[in-house]
Structure 1
Amino acid sequence: MNIPILYEDAEALVIDKPAGLPIDRPRAGGACLEDYLEDLKLGFQRAPLPVHRLDQDTSGCLLLARNPKALKRFSAAFEERLVEKRYLGIVDGVLEQEEGTIALSLSKVSTAKSGWRMIPARKGKPSTTHWRKLAEVDGRTLVEFRPETGRTHQIRVHAASGLGAALIGDPVYGSRKGAPRTMLHAAGLLVPRPTKDPIGAMAPLPADFAALGFGDA
């Protein structure tokens, strides 16, 4: 598997993570990002480590730190909500509004039958996502999401419960129909640094977005 590098300097890499590649090893086994970290040393002694998470199905910008000090600083930037994140997703349906903000607190629930998932809950963790409609094709909408917070499955739940239109292909919050994976792409990342230029990267839309009629955003 070829993993494109979108940004590189002495302390950071941003890769274009392929859809379907999990960050952690699945319980059932199989490939994960760890298998490619040695190749991503690119002459450095240490293998880079992921700073944040992307779901297995989600493609796009993933920041890797090349040393422990950088990992600590970048992690703090995410925790302090200093990182600008831009996602693109295809939802099932046509949206009446052009843009808006979704503020739904999220909580984790688990059942023996269905496993775990995130749900809107007043006592959950506050979660905010700004969104904007970009294009419509065949009853589906390409949406730009800019999350302020970084809760697990935040955009997926906010699309389904906040917009009332789940992401195409989402097996948990949607119907699996329309695509072989959840159609969510981490299109842009901007990470500020106190003494250096910010880390900035953009990941082009993948081929499966273009196959659904959304080839440019």
Structure 2
Amino acid sequence: MTPLNLLYQDEHLVAVHKPSGLLVHRSALARGETEFLLQRLRDQIGKRVYPVHRLDRPTSGVMVFAISSTVAGLLSDAFSERQVEKRYLAVVRGKAPEKNVWTTRCGKRMARDPRRKCPPCPR
């Protein structure tokens, strides 16, 4: 198995490149899957790791993991409270529209101001 691309590591954090198509961790939606980013990273660095945010399976990008549950809680709170700035880059094929409306997975329109929270999705 090809080693994961570690982008940063210290005594508290590990940042790794998540390839598209790879699930971050086991879930009820992952029946039949045998490979997960969390397990591969844990095996590669020999330490337990805790995800502090998420990326969908088809999305590639930087994933941050904490090496302790305490740091994971602090970082998860920072992500939830929008204290972390995230940037997204989309690659398109063909001609992209000059203007687009971005929606959440449940179809609600996303806020134009990145400091505003997305409207809650119906459960």
Give the structure-2-normalised TM-score.
0.74
1:34 partner SS = helix
Distance 1:129 1:66 in 2: 34
1:56 aligns with 2:60: no
Counterpart residue number, 2:22: 21
CA contact (8 A) 2:4 2:41 kept: no
Deviations 1:67-114 (A, max 9, x none): 0110011001001101111111123533335xx9x686x5xxxxxxxx
> Is the alpha carbon distance of 1:149 and 1:52 closer, same or farther for their aligned partners in structure 2, counting shifts above 3 Å?
farther
1:74 aligns with 2:53: no
Counterpart residue number, 2:111: 128
> Is the alpha carbon distance of 1:3 and 1:37 closer, same or farther for their aligned partners in structure 2, counting shifts above 3 Å?
closer
Q: Which runs of 5+ in 1 are unaligned?
A: 107-116, 122-126, 131-146, 152-217
Larger proportion of strand: 1
2:11 partner SS = coil
Identity %: 33
CA contact (8 A) 1:103 1:129 kept: no
Give the structure-1-normalised TM-score.
0.45
Deviations 1:120-157 (A, max 9, x none): 27xxxxx4357xxxxxxxxxxxxxxxx55786xxxxxx
Give the aligned CA root-mean-square deviation in angstroms.
Answer: 2.8
Provide the aligned length of Structure 1 versus Structure 2: 113
Matched residue type, 2:111? T
Question: What are the within-5 Å matches in structure 2 for residues 1-217 of structure 1?
Answer: 1-25=2-26, 26-42=30-46, 46-91=47-92, 93-96=95-98, 106=104, 118-120=106-108, 127-128=110-111, 148=115
> Is the alpha carbon distance of 1:73 and 1:81 closer, same or farther for their aligned partners in structure 2, counting shifts above 3 Å?
same
CA contact (8 A) 2:50 2:72 kept: yes
> Is the alpha carbon distance of 1:149 and 1:50 closer, same or farther for their aligned partners in structure 2, counting shifts above 3 Å?
farther
